[in-house]
Amino acid sequence: MAPELTPSLPPPLELTAEADPDLEDCDYLVRVDTGWGDGDTVYDCLWEDVEQACTPSTSGCDDTEETCISGCGMTCAGCDGVCADDCGGCKVRCGEDDACLAKCVLARDACHDECMGSKNTCTDEDCVAEAGVCYDEYSEYVAELCPSCDEIKECLSEAVGADDFEKANAACHEKFEAEPDECFDHCNMYSY
């Protein structure tokens, strides 16, 4: 899980990934287009790819993964803040030496790239693994709680296609009345 970190962020500049950042400013924030077609941009460390699910997550594992991904973004922002601070210190030491100042900017960009690389590893590997553990634990919990889960799921799936859904759904509940009511939430075609 990503460590808790609340960095103080400099105010964002209106930049996009395609624009050249103001290389005189160590505190610039790289901004990326959200891709939603409205022209909005977001600080790249805090950008999260949004996945929409039209059914509630009965496992809670979506929340687990989303919390982890947000933590990765905050860690990236903290890392990027350190890059900006190091760049500022470098520029002070350089004084008016243009070649030295250029090296500060290049080091700042390389540092930012490392922060983004760590964020991507965190979201794409660490958070996916954490969610995977959550789903495995959820599957074990449901298997223990609801031994007839596959049969309940099949019955409820057939009820969805029935002419009289209410009657078919009630028949499923009656057929599996020995199972806890919670199983009808966990054992349907939409649960995950």
Question: Do 92 and 172 reside in the same domain of the chain?
Answer: no
Taking only the tens place, the pLDDT of each residue in 40-81 is 888 999 988 767 766 777 888 988 999 999 999 999 999 999
pLDDT at 192: 56
- Is the domain of 63 the same as that of 118? yes
Full domain range(s) for residue 81: 31-145
- Which pairing describes strands 31-33 and 41-43: parallel, antiparallel, or unpaired? antiparallel
Q: Do 138 and 157 sit in the same domain of this protein?
A: no
Read off the pTM: 0.74
Say if residue 138 is in the same domain as residue 45: yes
Same domain, 72 and 109: yes
Read off the pLDDT of residues 103-130 as tens digits, 9 standing for 90 and up: 998 999 999 999 999 999 999 999 999 9
Both 109 and 181 in one domain: the answer is no
Q: Are residues 116 and 73 in the same domain?
A: yes
> Domain total for the chain?
2
Q: How confident is the model at residue 18 (pLDDT cuts 50, 70, 90)?
A: very low
Tell me if 160 is assigned to some domain: yes
Q: Are 83 and 128 part of one and the same domain?
A: yes
In a domain? residue 18: no
| Mean of pLDDT over the chain | 83
